[in-house]
Amino acid sequence: MEQNKEKELLRRIAKLVRQNKELYEKVRVLAESNDKLTEQVDRYERRLARLREGAPGAAEAEDQTRLLKFKMGTVLFADIQGFGKLTDQMDTQSMMDDLDDLFFRFDAIVKKYKLQKIKTIGDSYMCAGGVPQKNSTNPIDVVRAALEMNQYLGDLKKRSDTNRVWDIRIGVHTGPVTAIANGKRKISWELKGDTVNIASRLGSSCEIDRINISANTYELVKEFFACEYNGKIPVKYLGDLEMFYVKGIIPEISEGGRGREPNSRFDTKFKLIQFVDLQELILDKLEKELPDYLYYHNVKHTIDVVTEVELIGWAEGVSEEEVLLLKTAALFHDSGHTVGYDRHEELGCGLARQYLPEYDFSDEQIDRVCKLIMATQMPPKPNNLLEKIMCDSDLDYLGRSDFIPVSNTLYKELREQEKIGSLNDWNKLQIKFITGHQYFTETARNLREVNKQKQIERIKNLIEEE
C-alpha cells in the first residue's frame, strides 16, 4: 500500500515537471514574440513622430535609427532633488548654473568610466555601462561612477563658500537593456525596458545622497563594495525586489582603508574580471587571423595554456596580480603567429604592448607580461617562479594522455612549412627533446612527470630502425 502511494506521488511529480517544462517553453516563445512586437511598435512610433513633425528627410532619419539589445547592461538613474528648497531670496539663475555645473561634472565622470550617457528629460540624469560596447565590468564601473558622483556632491556641501540646495538619489540595476541609437554623426542614446524602470524605482526608493542598488547588481559587485541591506520593493511581474545601499569601497581594497579610492588590490581584482573581455577580443583575433597551417599553435592551445597557468599559479601560491600577469602572458604568448611564424614571441610582445594600455595595464605590468612571453622561447630557460610556471604550462601536453595526437598536430604544422622531414625523423627528434626536458615547478612534476616518461616509451615503440 505504501509503495503504491509512493509510485503515485512520483507519477504526479513527473507530470508536474513535464508541465513546468512546457509552460517554461511557452513563456520563452511568448517573451521572444513580445520583444519582436515591442521593437516593431518602437520603430512605428518613431516613424510616426517624425511624420507628425513634418521634418524634412524623415525617411532618411529612420535609416539613422538603430535598435540594439544587450543581455547585460547596468543603468544608473539619478534623481536630482532641490527645486522645493528654492526661495525668493535665492539667486535662481545662480542655482541653475550650479545644476549645470553638476551635470557637467557628472558627464566627466561618465566619460572617465567609459559609460554611455543616456538621453533624459528634466532634472534626472541617466547613464549605462555595457552600452554600446558590451563588457563584463559594467556593474563595477557604474557603481564606481555613482560613488564618485555622490562624493563630489558631498564634498561641495562641506565647503563654507557655497550655499548648495541640490541633493541626489541614485538607483542602479543590472539586467537586459534595449538601446536606441539616434543620428549618424552625433549619436544620442535612449534606453527602454524593465532594467531602466527598475533603476528609476530604486532611485525613488532611496534616501537622499545614497546609492540604492538591486540584488542583481549587488551579486556582481559585492566583492568590491561594502553594502547594507535596504529591504524590498514590489516590482510588477517580478515580485519583491531586494535592495542594498552602497556605503563605499571595501576598506581592505581601498586607499588607506577609507573606502573612497581603490588601491592596487582593487585594481588587480578588477582586471581579473576584465580579463574575460580581453580574452574574448584576442581569441577572436586568433580565430580570424591565424594561418590555416597552424594545427598546433591554434586557439585551443592558447586556451589550454591560459587554463594551466592559473591552475599551476594558484597551486604554487603566487599572488592575485601574478596570476593576472600569467594569464595575460599566456593569452598573448602565441598571438605573434598572426604576424609571422618565426620570432613569434617578440611579435606577441608587440601586440601586448598595443592592446594592454587600453585595459589600463601599467608600463611595469606590460614589461613583466612581455618577459613571461619571451620565457616560452625554445629551449626553455626560466629565471624565476613565474617564468617556470609559464614554461611548464606551455609544454604541459608532454605529460598528458593526449600527447600523441597533440604532437601529431605539431608535426603536421612543421611538415607543411617544410621545417621537418619524415614522421620517423620527427619521433626521433621528440625522444631527444622530451628526454632532455624537465618540468620546473613541483606542481607540474607531480601532475605530468610520470605520464611524460610513459610517452617516451610509447614514442620509442613507434620509431622504425633504419
CB count, 10 Å around CB of 195? 24
User: Residue 271 burial by CB count (10 A; 0-12/13-18/19+): exposed, middle or buried?
Assistant: buried
User: Residue 399 burial by CB count (10 A; 0-12/13-18/19+): exposed, middle or buried?
Assistant: buried
**Percent of the chain scoring above 90 in pLDDT:** 54
Grid coordinates given for 311:
591552475
pLDDT at residue 358 is higher than 80: yes
User: What type of residue sits at position 358?
Assistant: E
Model confidence band, residue 62 (pLDDT cutoffs 50, 70, 90): very low
Alpha carbons 435 and 221: distance in angstroms, whole number: 49
Contact 74, 131 (CB under 8 A): no
Cell 573581455 -> residue:
277
Q: Distance between the two ends of the chain, CA-based, in angstroms? A: 78
Dump the DSSP string for 210-239.
-EEEEHHHHHHHTTTEEEEEEEEEEETTTE
pLDDT tens, residue by residue, 393-443: 999 988 888 888 898 999 999 998 888 888 888 888 888 888 888 899 999
Cell 606551455 -> residue:
394
Entry field: residues in the chain: 466
Domain assignments of the chain as residue spans, ordered by start: 1-59, 64-262, 266-462
Contact 377, 345 (CB under 8 A): yes
Alpha carbons 9 and 30: distance in angstroms, whole number: 31
User: Distance of CA 206 to CAs 80, 218, 237, Å?
Assistant: 12, 15, 21
pLDDT at residue 223 is higher than 90: yes
Instruction: Report the DSSP beta bridge partners of residue 225.
Output: 249
pLDDT of residue 54: 57
Dump the DSSP string for 353-392.
HHHGGGGT--HHHHHHHHHHHHTTSSSP---SHHHHHHHH
pLDDT of residue 61: 47
pLDDT tens, residue by residue, 112-128: 999 999 987 777 899 99
Q: Tell me the CATH number for domain 64-262.
A: 3.30.70.1230
pLDDT at residue 265 is higher than 70: yes
pLDDT of residue 206: 92
pLDDT of residue 349: 97
pTM to 2 decimals?
A: 0.81
pLDDT of residue 42: 60
Class of domain 266-462: mainly alpha
User: Distance of CA 40 to CAs 1, 86, 192, 360, 373, Å?
Assistant: 59, 43, 13, 40, 50
pLDDT of residue 128: 95
